[in-house]
Amino acid sequence: MRTNDMRRIAVAALLAALAVACSRREPAQESVAPAADPYPDEKANLDLWLERMEVGSREIYSARDAIAAAIDLKDGARIADIGAGTGIYSMLFSERVGDSGAVYAVDIEPRFLKLINQRAEDNGRNNIVSVLGRPDSITLPPGSVDAVFICDTYHYFENPALIMSTVYAALRPGGALYVVDYDIGPGETPPADHRHVRFGKADVAAEISSFGFSPAAEVKVDGLVENYMLRFTRP
């Protein structure tokens, strides 16, 4: 089974659990467009989404402030949060880039983008722009961002070379790419909930460098033990 299919199945399961927990009934439909929202007039249950989305990724959640602080973001910067999910990092980046900056929250799941829009509105954040991505593209214009952040998402890319070419294009020359992911040591077998992770830090670093990015530099972050952060730049 393809990794994107696995992610969509996981998202579908999450949405089903959310619907049950919120006592909502979704009418049967033969066909629903990907962007269709079965609950257009209801707010998403933010607390429930956050709780369920962080299962299995507690370290990335608990270390979120340290991870965000490790990224060199200045006032007015533009950053793309790829695989933004519930928007946890998009919200943190929004604070750091200020009103003159921009955060592009990119995800292939429209429901996540609705949730991010809701969070931004509730918190008065006008510098977050939700972007519907595709499995083969982050759908951002060339040279549009100063930094790209990919957290707990890289291992889902079915065609890394293709989608990373769009990351490369979206970055301005000299821009930085940050990747946070689960590590697998040489010869190790990942636990059952991480069997979809293709390989560990060293191989990810080599693969991304092969796409034209500078060699990786590891960024040490307090609180990261099972996961790592790598920094690349676009020459």
Per-residue pLDDT tens digits for 83-139: 999 999 999 999 999 999 999 999 999 999 999 999 999 999 999 999 999 999 999
What pLDDT was estimated at residue 199? 74
Q: Mean pLDDT throughout 186-201?
A: 64
Report field, pTM of the whole predicted structure over 0.75: yes
Flag whether pLDDT at 58 surpasses 50.
yes
Domain count, the chain: 1
Question: What would the DSSP string read from start to end of the chain?
Answer: --HHHHHHHHHHHHHHHHHHHTT--PPP-S---TT--S-TTS---HHHHHHHHTTT-HHHHHTHHHHHHTS---TT-EEEEET-TT-HHHHHHHHHH-TTSEEEEEES-HHHHHHHHHHHHHTT--SEEEEE-BTTB----TT-EEEEEEES-GGG-SSHHHHHHHHHHHEEEEEEEEEEEE---TT----GGGTT----HHHHHHHHHTTTPPPPEE---TT-SSEEEEEEE--
Read off the CATH number of the domain in which 92 is found. 3.40.50.150
The mean pLDDT of the chain is 80
pLDDT mean over 5-32:
39
Does residue 77 have a pLDDT over 70?
Answer: yes
- Res. 189: pLDDT tops 50: yes
Is the model more confident about 43 or about 100?
A: 100
Give phi and psi for 46, each to the nearest 5: -60, -45
- Whether 28 has a pLDDT exceeding 60, the answer reads no
Encoding tokens for residue 65?
Answer: 């402030």
pLDDT at residue 20 is higher than 70? no
For residues 202 and 216, give the distance between their C-alpha atoms in angstroms, rounded to a whole number.
9
Q: What is the largest CA-CA distance in the chain?
A: 51
Q: Which residue range is the domain that position 17 belongs to?
A: 3-233
